[in-house]
Amino acid sequence: MPNKKQIFKIVPNVLPIILMIGLIPVIENDFWLTGIYLAIMIVWFLIKREKNDFLFLVFGFFVMIIAEYFFISTGVETFTRNSFLGVMPIWLPFLWAYAFVAMKRAITILNLK
């Protein structure tokens, strides 16, 4: 069970994801939203960058493109915004990519005793 100190260290890593998700209904242009996501990620990495962040970012980006494409092709998911490969919004892999970084950071924090 995480203690309060760990939770307070995890929360700042989740804030960009909350902001990104909150922008989805506000910014209707997928390309503008992707640019804003990139700006958020750059600012957050300038504030704090940890070892292997970029590796997790790239891994999350490509793995989730493949996973989302599989889900879409099997009919499990559908998107009305399909600006990437004609099947999904272009901002989605970027959101997932940063989520991988946030998960890595949270696991690192939780493993610190």
pLDDT in tens, 102-113: 999 999 988 875
Domain containing residue 58? 4-111
Instruction: Let me know how long the chain is.
Output: 113
Number of domains in the chain: 1
Instruction: Output 74-83 pairs: Cβ under 8 A, ≥24 positions apart.
Output: 81/30, 83/30, 83/31
- Model confidence pLDDT, tens digit, residues 56-97: 999 999 999 999 999 999 999 999 998 998 889 999 999 999
Q: Whole-angstrom Cα distance, residue 62 to residue 96?
A: 9
Query: What does the DSSP 8-state code read for residue 81?
Result: -
- Model confidence pLDDT, tens digit, residues 21-51: 999 999 999 999 999 999 999 999 999 899 9
Q: Can you list the alpha helix ranges (DSSP code H) found in 1-113?
A: 4-23, 30-47, 53-73, 92-111
pTM: 0.89
